[in-house]
Structure 1
Amino acid sequence: MQITSTIDLLNKVPPLISYFKYWLEKEDKYSLQSPFLFTTYQNLFSFIKNRKEIDLEIEVFREQLLLSKEVIEVQDFGAGSKSVNTAKRKVSDITKYSTSNRKFAQLYQFFCTLTPAETVLELGTCTGISSRYLSTVTQGQLYSFEGCEEIARIAQPAKDFKNLSIITGELCKTLPTYLKNVKKVDFALIDATHTYEGTLNYFNQILEKTHSKSIIAIGDIHWSKGMEKAWQEIRNKPEVKLSLDFYECGILFFDFSGEKADYILDF
């Protein structure tokens, strides 16, 4: 028990240090010099404000999952969960600890709307909260990838969200197969495995299908030292013209009129 407690404490130290650094370096809209970035940042908050009464049925679905007593067998192909890392997990715990809150789900929605949003990918369906949010702004088809069949079953909408397709299976196999038949990717949310190797690999695969108006979001960029390393390497790639660090996620642009830039933003 003592060893487990010590390990848990050590696991929490790097994220705390990362957040303190983020808190010291983050900028608000008044310190932004780029007109494009200033406008985009303002529009993000306006978008969230204007959708205050929209997609509330998704939050009803979240509440149902949080109240669920169901326990499922989880196949974990990534770094696992810091809160519940057992084979059998409560649906309520998975939803509580492994899904994006409404604020960040809407952030993903907003950046998706800045693209043509005809082909949208989500790596890491989890219980389908972010999937539903992205579905409502996707103009074409949303393909969400989930490794665990039981979690995918929970996430699968019974009705509505007709442009959402959940692809089940180990991501290292399903993603390459899917990308072979796709000409372009407009928006992608990479929120799976949470490992350095996996995140970098998925990004590089999707990068080959991006265009100047594509945007890629990466979840939990400060989740671990490995994820921070992956984020640093990705944002330094020459194809990336602008990166935005919102602590819980990073946003990547491939078209920016100014010089290559990286920003840490308050959210």
Structure 2
Amino acid sequence: MLFQLKSYFNFLLKSQNQHGLHSPFVYDLVTKCFYNKNEHKAYKLIKDYRNNLLGNKNRISVTDFGAGSRVFRSNERPVFSIAKNAGITLHRAKLLYRLTNYLKVDTALELGTSLGIASSAIAAKKNTKLITIEGCPKTAKIAGQQFEKFDLNNIELRVNKFDAEMDALIQENQKFDLIYFDGNHQKQATLDYFNQLLPTAHNDSVFIFDDIHWSSEMEEAWEEIKKHPKVQVTIDTFQWGLVFFRKEQVKQHFNIRV
């Protein structure tokens, strides 16, 4: 916790809002998407989906393949508590929807479904086809039930280890407009996933990495990703790191408060 507080303080010192952004692409993204105050119809679906989970008192046994939890001491966890403490917040779920909508995302991939709150935000744009991968069968089962309950028929849920599914996606020559990385907050795994999924990106794709300031190792992974020759523009929002590959852009890195 102390590490994250220090990281956040450093982020605030370097961060900016829309003022002084000299990249037209990033300026438009920040003003028209990040800071968009409109009440989108899709917000109701996302809110209802999340609230439904917050009312679920059932307990499940979670299989954790990532860096583990800072909140839970046991793998036996109530569903509402996972949704509250480990799930994406409503604020960020709305932003994820706005990004999907603003960037006109048709195909998306998510590593780490959990209970599917972020999935619902992406798939709230109904013509977006989302493939989401979850390693834990119990959380995936809850997510699958939620997708049916909320008629999210544009989501394909794959229950498997990430590596196997990523290999399959590459074999299928899949291309994604958006990839949301939220399944393993460890340096090497993050870098491996990034490199493994690079062939699925195109010029206008965006990669979104969750919890880039989770630990010093995750910050190191983020710095390495920023330096990759195929990466042109990055945006650090503290919680997320957004990566763009747009060859027409000058290589630039931004820290934006959202």
TM-score, normalised by the number of residues in structure 2: 0.93
**What percent identity do the matched residue pairs reach?**
32
Q: 1:250 aligns with which of 225, 237, 241?
A: 241
The amino acid that maps onto 1:117 is V
The amino acid that maps onto 2:86 is S
Partner of 2:250: 259
Partner of 2:148: 158
Whether 1:201 and 2:196 are equivalent positions in the alignment is: no
The amino acid that maps onto 2:33 is L
TM-aligned CA deviation for residue 114 of structure 1: 4.7
Partner of 1:220: 211
The amino acid that maps onto 1:245 is D
Distance 1:61 1:258 in 2: 37
Asked if structure 2 preserves the Cα contact closer than 8 Å seen for 1:111 and 1:215, the reply is no
Partner of 1:5: none
Partner of 1:92: 80
TM-aligned CA deviation for residue 99 of structure 1: 1.3
Partner of 2:110: 122
Partner of 1:134: 122
Q: What SS is found at the alignment partner of 2:217?
A: helix
Query: Which deviations, in whole Å up to 9, do the C-alpha atoms of 1:35-56 show, x marking residues without a partner?
Result: 2221221011454x22345331
Q: What SS is found at the alignment partner of 1:144?
A: strand
Query: Which deviations, in whole Å up to 9, do the C-alpha atoms of 1:118-157 show, x marking residues without a partner?
Result: 3210111111111011012263420001110100111111
Asked if structure 1 preserves the Cα contact closer than 8 Å seen for 2:122 and 2:128, the reply is no
CA RMSD for the aligned pairs?
1.7
Distance 1:170 1:52 in 2: 34
Partner of 1:17: 6
Partner of 1:143: 131
Q: Any residues of structure 2 matched to 1:55-94 within 5 Å, and which? A: 55-94=43-82
The amino acid that maps onto 1:32 is L
TM-aligned CA deviation for residue 117 of structure 1: 2.3
Distance 1:163 1:176 in 2: 22
Partner of 1:41: 30
Change in 2 beyond 3 A, CA 1:166/1:101: same
Q: What SS is found at the alignment partner of 2:42?
A: coil
The amino acid that maps onto 1:143 is I
Distance 2:100 2:128 in 1: 12
Asked if structure 1 preserves the Cα contact closer than 8 Å seen for 2:107 and 2:177, the reply is yes
Query: Which deviations, in whole Å up to 9, do the C-alpha atoms of 1:160-192 show, x marking residues without a partner?
Result: 111101111221222222332133121100011
TM-score, normalised by the number of residues in structure 1: 0.90
Asked if structure 2 preserves the Cα contact closer than 8 Å seen for 1:241 and 1:256, the reply is yes
Asked if structure 1 preserves the Cα contact closer than 8 Å seen for 2:109 and 2:180, the reply is yes
The amino acid that maps onto 2:85 is Y
Query: Which deviations, in whole Å up to 9, do the C-alpha atoms of 1:196-236 show, x marking residues without a partner?
Result: 11111111111111110111111111011111111111111
Asked if structure 1 preserves the Cα contact closer than 8 Å seen for 2:233 and 2:252, the reply is yes
